[in-house]
Chains A and B, each alone.
Chain A
Amino acid sequence: MSVNDRSLTTSASMNMQGFGNSSAGSNQSDEQVEPASTLSIFSLDMKKHEDIKQMLDSNKENLKLDAMRRVIGMIAKGKDAGDLFPAVVKNIVSKNMEIKKLVYVYLMRYAEEQQDLALLSIATFQRGLKDPNQLIRASALRVLSSIRVPTIVSIMMLAIRESANDMSPYVRKTAANAIAKLYALDPELKDELIVIITKLLADKTILVNGSAVQAFEHVCPDRIDLIHKNYRRLCNLLVDIDEWGQLTVLHMLTRYARTQFVDPNKTYEDDKKSFYDDNETEKNANDDEESLDKKTYIMDSDHRLLLRCTKPLLQSRNSAVVMTVAQLYYYVAPRSEIHIVAKSLIRLLRSHREIQTIVLKSITSMADKHKEIFGPFLKSFYVHSNDSSHVKYYKLEILTILANASNISTILREFHTYVLSPDKEFGAQAIHAIGRCASTIPEVTEACLNGLVGLMSKKDETIVAESVVVIKKLLQINPSQYGDIIKHIVRKVDKVTVPTARASILWLIGEYSDRISKFAPDVLRKMAKIFPDEETIVKNQILNLAAKLYVMNSKQTNLLVQYVFNLAKYDTNYDIRDKTRLLRALLFQADKCPALSKNAKKILLAPKPAPLLESIIRHHDQYTLGTLSYVIGQAATGYKDLPDFPPEPSDSSVRNVEIIPVSTSQHDSSRNPKKGTTPGGKKNTGIDENFFSDEEEDAEDASTEGPDDEEEENEEDEEEEEEEESDEDDEEQSIENKNKTNEYEQLDARSPTIVENQPQNSESSEEEEESEEDESESEESTDEDEQV
């Protein structure tokens, strides 16, 4: 935004205001003036705070609302509106819902800074907590707990305690949310809060459970004993919790499983046959136990319950949920079952770029540990030319990890196209990846090396340089075999200009000078000529080469080496000078330290361990998969490692729950029969009954007719006939219907006419009666089904 624009708007605003307090305007306007935005609303901020104050004090709702909107505009822009606090807070008693809401927004932002004044508003919230409307109660509690004023913790505590017993699940959920906020304000209340959390964890409504677990995670994640009684219920209800709640519960359950059950992979012999097929959610728990009995390791039935109940969540539309389930399987499931997460993770790769990046990184770690599960999806990791650089990098990494003797030829072909991609950095990474494949799969080492040598004849410098560096590393692993390649590379030394590549070549010559004793001194001669113009890294290697050649062949190279050392002695870089002194002492001044000089050859040409061609990602594995720490590669604040499985499982009877008769007076609790699970292993019935039970019954309350899934059967016959006709009718109908129907295939040709003359249609009303009758029947029948 140019200065001109600013001054223009300033003057414009001054003109606009025209009257009154223009004197005060001159000193304030500067900070308030908007950079000229095209928007009228934002330019409203230009007016004085005085103006807004007056409007807030006025009797007219409209003016107040307008003023509040401007205040919010200022906050949204990140400008300070703190001096309006007294004027704003007065309006908290406003009858207008929007004014009230905006005042709440303002309070949450500024109450912390103006605590004394904020106390003025507390009475309103206390009144709000008693309001008959659940939404008002909830929002009063929400704001009260969000204003972060330490003096009111006792009031907050009281409010939370009361709201936790509220009739409305929505208010109880808000209470659960408020617990974490209060705890952040005053950690000493922990014990009292735990009591409330315990109560909310056992709440009968799924709406509350998610938030209760959230509070649990914030306040007392170590009190795992609070979960025992709720464990089975949470598992069974997991699918019905909202997606964000699912995330928290999944995290908690992962930790729970790691502390309560034993490692399923420890005693368990890998069995090829996966004895839980796809439909295991539908399976009866008894079956599970039977099949388990035959195995040496018997998985705790609760452990199995967890895996079974989390599996459907792999179909969630929320990528975070899918990832968390994958994580749970990675840490908790037996090795033979992890494969089921692969498909869903691959699906996430079609999502937004940011999600792709994180998922790919996690896949890298998973694939590293369990190669086989991603093997079938190899092609999904092929790189598109417009993938972001992170995505490309991780895909390359995964392809390298997945490479094995059987698929290496296709992977290498793929890598070869990457090398030639216009993205040079990526090309270099691809060359590096080829090197890694060559070092891990002995069958293709030869082929890879030849390929890399081929790349050295490319014209592109980065490609050549990277190939040289990688070849150097590969040669180190098995130098004796590849004398020819060394010779080939040495010839390249004049053409390669990239410093790292030159340095690599020089190092190779020095290290294996015995194989190329004819070339080596000549290379040194050439290098000596251009020594001053080289990069430090190259100079370093020239010195190394000189020293090594002197050790091997002092007669021929003596003078040359002396010359190089003299040049280096006066180099601008002190490391070079230092190194020169060291080498000179070692080679030429034997009298100074005879013990060392005697062993100069051993020192310089000591057998060096071959470098490991490894990726840098591996080091991140120390953090739990999918966490923030894992992604950034360093421990984030508040990061905790996932505990290891205990050697002995905890007593499973702690999770047994007695069936508590419905005792509370709350109307909604009676809706969910049998939330508590029966002791023993047969908690599966819970899923069938509870799944969707809440919603469906509520829907029945709300709509005039209960929805019924079985109804379709009696309509089927009629519909099928009509479907045949529908194609012909298609065009006529679509013209009638004004919407974009010509693009749409009509599914039910009859309907538009019926919409037009709805009331007199006798056919449809008959049908409705029929279906109503059937409804009761079919309801019974479904009930029976579920019982089985």
Chain B
Amino acid sequence: MIHSLFIINGSGEVFMEKHWKTVVSKSICDYFFEAQKKSANPEDVSPVIATPHHYLINICRNNLYFVAVLTNESAPLFVIEFLHRIMDVFEDYFTACTETTLKDNYVIVYELLDEMLDSGLPLVTETNTLKELIKPPNLLRKVANLVTGDSTNVSDALTSSQLSNIPWRRLGVKYANNEAYFDLIEEIDAIIDRNGTTIMGEIQGYIDCCVKLSGMPDLSLTFVNPRLLDDVSLHPCIRLKKWESEKSLSFIPPDGNFRLISYHIGSQNSISIPIYVKHNIQYREGSAGRFELTVGPKQTMGKSLEAVAIECAMPKSVLNCTLTPSQGKCTFDPVKKVLTWDIGKIETNNQNSTRLPTIRGNITLAAGQPIPEGNPTLNVRFTINQVALSGIRVQRVDMHGESYKPFKGVKYITTVKNGRFQIRT
């Protein structure tokens, strides 16, 4: 399966390699670099590259490239999913997966890779089990190690303890404060055409949990309106049977942070879009082009829009934009031709259209260039706290199996993943 793995940084340097079988020379990455050079955008590199003797499967995340080398037929999705899982584990161990953190913790990285794959086949991928085998780095231990001169990454308990029978939860978890937090996050995917009609709107929701409970708690979570959830993917800890029959989530949670479920509400359901943008963009010869936007809230269930920002990729022929916003800050990157307008917070009660945030100004076109055919697309970002747009609510969370009473909290956020909310103008 996975033969070797190369980790490459943004500037094209292979800074770590791991081989599970016979060593494959680093030069194999040249095929990847070549493919990278050919594509204008780093996003456009094909995830699967065939070379004469090997197959390269790569992922790009956080400006790091993980390139896996394969020699035999195996499902590409399997490899991609696994590479992302490796990144997830690194993120969990080092809080962020960057070149610096990986280099700082290269021994742990190597031990983890060794534990996760056994000669190219997945072995342990649950962070909870991994943490039982290999201790994550933490500041306290680093200090202690410096003082005592004793340092080891490998868990001391290893020699005595049994492996937990539930692969996702380790044994003997203890907390002074027992707490469980559930973040219900919904991301809106939408395309709105120039007339303001929603031509496509979807919601992708997640419940991300931070569970710090001692022992072996058994949680059950019920929803007020579970029928909204007809397309979900579940963490393996959830009892499938219970979900199918009662639409309640019953599970023994992993320790720490994890994603409990993610759900998808497709474009068949109608979704109320909480924001509108009025736009008037016209290109003219010279500096006579006009640009005008007005942003306002709509159907936000009484909550205000926060962290509103609009990004607009201008055509190449635009030389400059001179714009004045009534609220927030506006910048234009003349190299990338990207216009960014950070608006900030828009109060809902502020329906008076004169006080809505607007931006006005002129666009200067480069001389001699043809006037662009199509208007640019606006990428809108915003966040609404305390609301899940789909209306899904957690009814209750109950815990069994342990005698203490935990603190339980749930938080709702509606937001936009960068670039997924677009307004065509």
Please choose the segment from A236-244, A516-524, A612-620 that sits at the chain B interface, where 4 or more of its residues have CB less than 8 A away.
A236-244
Shortest Cβ gap from B228 to chain A (Å): 14
Instruction: Give B11's nearest chain A residue, CB to CB.
Output: A1
Nearest A residue to B239 via CB reads A692
B118 and A146 contact, CB distance less than 8 A: yes
Please report which residues of chain A, range 711-726, place their CB below 8 angstroms from some CB of chain B when the two chains form the complex. Answer: 711-712, 715, 719, 723
| A477 interface contact, C-beta 8 A | no
Q: At the interface, yes or no: B140 with Cβ under 8 Å from chain A?
A: no
Give which listed residue, B17, B156, B235, contacts A78 with CB less than 8 A: B17
Question: Which residues on A sit within 8 Å (CB–CB) of B23?
Answer: 109
Interface contact B244-A282, CB-CB below 8 Å? yes
Chain B hits for A506, CB < 8 A: none
The answer to whether A755 and B406 have CB atoms under 8 Å apart is: yes
Alpha-carbon gap, A748 to B406, bound state (A): 9
Task: For the complex, count residues of A whose C-beta is within 8 A of B.
Answer: 145
Select A384's contact among B41, B119, B191, B216, beta carbons within 8 Å. Answer: B191
CA distance A414 to B159 in the complex (A): 63
User: Measured between C-beta atoms, what is the minimum distance from A323 to chain B in Å?
Assistant: 5
Partner of B266, one of A239, A323, A346, A692: A346
Taking CB atoms, residues of chain B closer than 8 Å to A715 are 398
* A residues 76-124 touching B (CB-CB < 8 Å): 76-78, 96-98, 101-102, 104-105, 108-109, 112
**Cβ of B196 under 8 Å from chain A:** no
Chain A, Cβ-Cβ closest to B221: A747
The reply on B301 being an interface residue by CB < 8 A is no
Question: Does B216 contact A744, Cβ atoms closer than 8 Å?
Answer: no
A706 CB → nearest B CB, Å: 7
**B82 nearest CB across to chain A (Å):** 8
Residue of B at shortest CB range from A754? B405
Residue in A705, A752, A765 whose beta carbon sits within 8 Å of that of B407 in the complex: A752
Q: Quick one: CB contact mask for B73-101 with A, threshold 8 Å, 1 for yes?
A: 11111101110100000000000000010
A151 within 8 A of B: no
- Given the complex, which residues of B lie within 8 Å of A281, measured CB to CB? 241, 244
Which secondary structure characterizes the binding site on chain B?
Answer: mixed
| CB within 8 Å of B: which A530-582 residues | none
A498 to B371, CA, bound (A): 19
Alpha-carbon gap, A180 to B215, bound state (A): 38
Stretch in contact with the other chain, from A9-17, A222-230, A312-320: A312-320
User: Which residues of chain A have C-beta atoms less than 8 A from B394's C-beta?
Assistant: 747
Tell me if B231 counts as interface (CB < 8 A to partner A).
Answer: yes
Q: How far is the CB of B161 from chain A (nearest CB, A)?
A: 8
Is the C-beta of A158 less than 8 angstroms from some C-beta in chain B?
no
A629→B70 CA distance, assembly (Å):
12
**Residues 694-718 of A contacting B (Cβ, < 8 Å):** 694-695, 698-699, 701-709, 711-712, 715
Encoded as 1 (CB less than 8 Å from any A CB) or 0, chain B from 378 to 411 comes to 0100000110000000101110111111111111
Q: Which residues of the partner chain A approach B81 to less than 8 Å between Cβ atoms?
A: 318-320, 355
Q: Which of A104, A695, A707 contacts B400 (CB 8 A)?
A: A707
CB atoms of B159 and A133 under 8 A apart: yes
Q: Which of A62, A177, A379, A458 contacts B373 (CB 8 A)?
A: A458
The segment from A294-302, A480-488, A583-591, A635-643 that touches chain B is A635-643
Q: Closest B-chain residue to A251, C-beta based?
A: B75
A357-B47 CB under 8 A given contacts A699-B165, A707-B400, A752-B407: yes
A317 to B258, CA, bound (A): 12
Chain B neighbourhood of A357, CB < 8 A: 46-47
- Asked whether B405 lies within 8 Å of A463 as measured between CB atoms, the reply is no
CA distance A214 to B119 in the complex (A): 13
CB within 8 Å for A242 and B106 given contacts A417-B424, A422-B315: no
* Interchain CB contact under 8 A, B373 and A109: no
**Known A133-B159, A699-B166, A765-B403; 10 more pairs at CB < 8 Å:** A174-B118, A347-B264, A354-B84, A379-B267, A628-B76, A637-B72, A705-B402, A709-B220, A745-B411, A758-B404
Instruction: Report B's interface with A, CB cutoff 8 A.
Output: 13-23, 26, 39, 41, 43-44, 46-50, 55, 58-61, 70-78, 80-82, 84, 100, 103-104, 106-107, 109-111, 114, 118-119, 121-123, 125, 133, 149-156, 158-160, 162-167, 171, 177-179, 181-182, 189, 191, 193, 199-200, 202, 204, 215-218, 220, 230-236, 239-242, 244-245, 250, 252, 259, 262, 264, 266-268, 313, 315-316, 370-374, 376-377, 379, 385-386, 394, 396-398, 400-412, 419-420, 422, 424
Q: What are 22 A-B interface contacts by the 8 Å CB criterion?
A: A78-B26, A97-B158, A98-B152, A112-B22, A174-B118, A242-B167, A243-B125, A244-B121, A317-B235, A320-B78, A320-B82, A324-B75, A352-B59, A354-B80, A390-B46, A421-B374, A422-B374, A637-B73, A694-B165, A707-B401, A748-B407, A755-B178
